[in-house]
Amino acid sequence: MEKKRVVITGIGPITAVGTGKRQLWDSILHRRSNVSRQEHYIDEELWGGFHIAKVSDFRLEDFGFSSAAVRVFKECQENGSRDLIYMLSSCKLALDDSRLVYDRDDNDIGLALTCENPGIDDFICRIIENTIEIIEGRAPALPDLTKIEFIQRLYERFQKKVYNLQTFMYLHQVSRVLGLHGESLFINNACASGLFALEAASRMIRSGRTKTVVVAGADDPSFMTKYLWFKKLGIYSEDGVMRPFDRNRNGLVFGEGGGAIVIEDFAHAQSRGARIYAEYLGGGFTQDAWKVTVPSMTTNFYAKAFRQALDCAGLGAEEIELINPHGAATGIGDKYEALTINEVFGSHRPLITAFKPYTGHNLGGCALVELIILLLAMGEGIVPATLNHTTPDPDMKIEIVKEHLTRSIRIAAKMSCGFGGYNAVALFKKIQ
Q: Check: CB of residue 242 under 8 Å from CB of residue 356.
A: yes
Residue 5 DSSP one-character state? P
C-alpha angle 217/223/225, rounded to 5°? Answer: 110
Burial class (CB in 10 A: 0-12, 13-18, 19+), 321: middle
The closest of 119, 137, 111 to 78, measured between CA atoms, is 119
Q: Which long-range contacts (CB under 8 A, 24 or more apart) does 65-74 make?
A: 65/92, 65/177, 66/177, 68/176, 68/177, 69/177, 72/173, 72/176, 72/177
Residues 6 or more apart from 25 whose CB is under 8 A from it? 18, 373, 376, 380
DSSP string, 73-102: HHHHHHTT-HHHHHHHHHHHHHHHHHT---
Q: CA-to-CA distance for 118 and 95, rounded, in angstroms?
A: 22
Q: Cα-atom radius of gyration of the chain, to the nearest Å?
A: 22
The closest of 8, 4, 6, 5 to 374, measured between CA atoms, is 8
C-alpha angle 85/218/260, rounded to 5°? Answer: 90
Would you call 404 a catalytic residue per the annotation?
no
The three state secondary structure string of 260-314 is EEEEEEHHHHHHCCCCCCEEEEEEEEEECCCCCCCCCCCCCHHHHHHHHHHHHHC
Distances in whole angstroms, Cα of residue 45 to Cα of each of 39, 41, 119, 129, 233: 10, 5, 23, 11, 25
C-alpha angle 201/410/412, rounded to 5°? Answer: 55
The closest of 374, 93, 85, 106 to 214, measured between CA atoms, is 93
Q: CA-to-CA distance for 295 and 330, rounded, in angstroms?
A: 12
Would you call 191 a catalytic residue per the annotation?
yes
Residue 3 DSSP one-character state? P
Helices (H), 42-166: 67-78, 82-98, 120-135, 147-164
Would you call 326 a catalytic residue per the annotation?
yes
Residue from 191, 312, 366, 417 carrying the catalytic annotation: 191
Active site residues: 191, 326, 361
